[in-house]
Amino acid sequence: MMIEQIMERDVITLRKTDTIEEAIQKMSAHHIRHIPIVSDQGSVIGMVTDRDIKNASPSIFETEKRQLFIQRPVEEIMVLETITAHPLDFVEEISSVFFEHGIGCLPVVRRGKLVGIITKTDLLRTFVKLTGADQPGSHLEVEVEQMTEGLADITAILKEQHIQMLSVLVYPHANDASKVLVFRLQTIHADHVTKLIRAKGYKVLWPMEQTIK
């Protein structure tokens, strides 16, 4: 899945000469925490967040200073070194960028122009849909030594039992010698499937054996 499939295209923006007060008003009106700062040509030249405003703002008890502060241009507090994404970047790659840099938002740029924006909430929503966690079903985890062979065996069992998969994920096991296949199944009762998988010689990590007796 690519970023252009989940990004917000109707982006709220500011110019560098717009005031901090305007930034506060837009954040409040649109329930957002990040606003890209763009040039007259539509290129991203910075970013301002609610945290930037909070960190630079005088105390709420200093009324006069605060009034002067919010009339200043956003260019005085915006972050200049802005990381961006491309519409054709893959969601998983951009998720890694969010994690590595500890950021909550990325402007999406094509040919130097702002075309969208992506937030941590967008990524989390996408992850929920990709894993099928938003649909009723059963969770199944199986340890396998040969991923391709194991996946083929387990999907064959699911096919025989007429059980549909909502999603399947793979992650390394703690011992590094094997993998864990994580299935979201379109059934509430998967006890018989679990028994068939164990009978095939695979270790079912979840549901644990005692939970299905």
* The predicted structure's pLDDT at residue 60: 73
- Record the pTM: 0.81
Are 54 and 12 found together in one domain?
A: yes
pLDDT, mean of residues 132-139? 92
Domain boundary among 86, 103, 127: 127
Are 87 and 179 found together in one domain?
A: no
Structural domain count of the chain: 2
Side-by-side strand order, sheet with 179-185: 165-172, 179-185, 138-144, 203-206
Q: Is the pLDDT of residue 97 over 60?
A: yes
Q: Which residues are bridge partners to 203 per DSSP? A: 143
Are 156 and 106 found together in one domain?
A: no
* The predicted structure's pLDDT at residue 19: 98
Domain boundary among 76, 94, 127: 127
pLDDT, mean of residues 75-94? 96
* 92 confidence band (pLDDT: 50, 70, 90): very high
* 210 confidence band (pLDDT: 50, 70, 90): low
Determine the Cα–Cα distance for residues 51 and 71; give it in Å rounded to an integer: 17
Q: Show the DSSP H helices in 31-161 as ranges.
A: 50-56, 63-70, 91-101, 120-131, 147-160
Are 149 and 52 found together in one domain?
A: no
Are 89 and 9 found together in one domain?
A: yes
Domain boundary among 104, 127, 150: 127
DSSP reduced 3-state for 67: helix
Are 21 and 70 found together in one domain?
A: yes
DSSP for 143-205, written as a single string? EESSHHHHHHHHHHHHHHTT--EEEEEEEE-TTSSSEEEEEEES-S--HHHHHHHHHTT-EEE
Contact 206, 141 (CB under 8 A): yes
Are 17 and 66 found together in one domain?
A: yes
Top-ranked range on mean pLDDT: pick from 7-11, 132-136, 170-174, 206-210: 7-11
Domain around 77? 3-127
Per the model's pLDDT, the better-predicted residue between 212 and 144 turns out to be 144
pLDDT, mean of residues 151-180? 93
pLDDT, mean of residues 110-121? 97
Are 123 and 64 found together in one domain?
A: yes
- Give the domain CATH number at 71: 3.10.580.10
Determine the Cα–Cα distance for residues 12 and 53; give it in Å rounded to an integer: 17
Q: Is the pLDDT of residue 104 over 60?
A: yes
* 3 confidence band (pLDDT: 50, 70, 90): very high
Are 95 and 23 found together in one domain?
A: yes
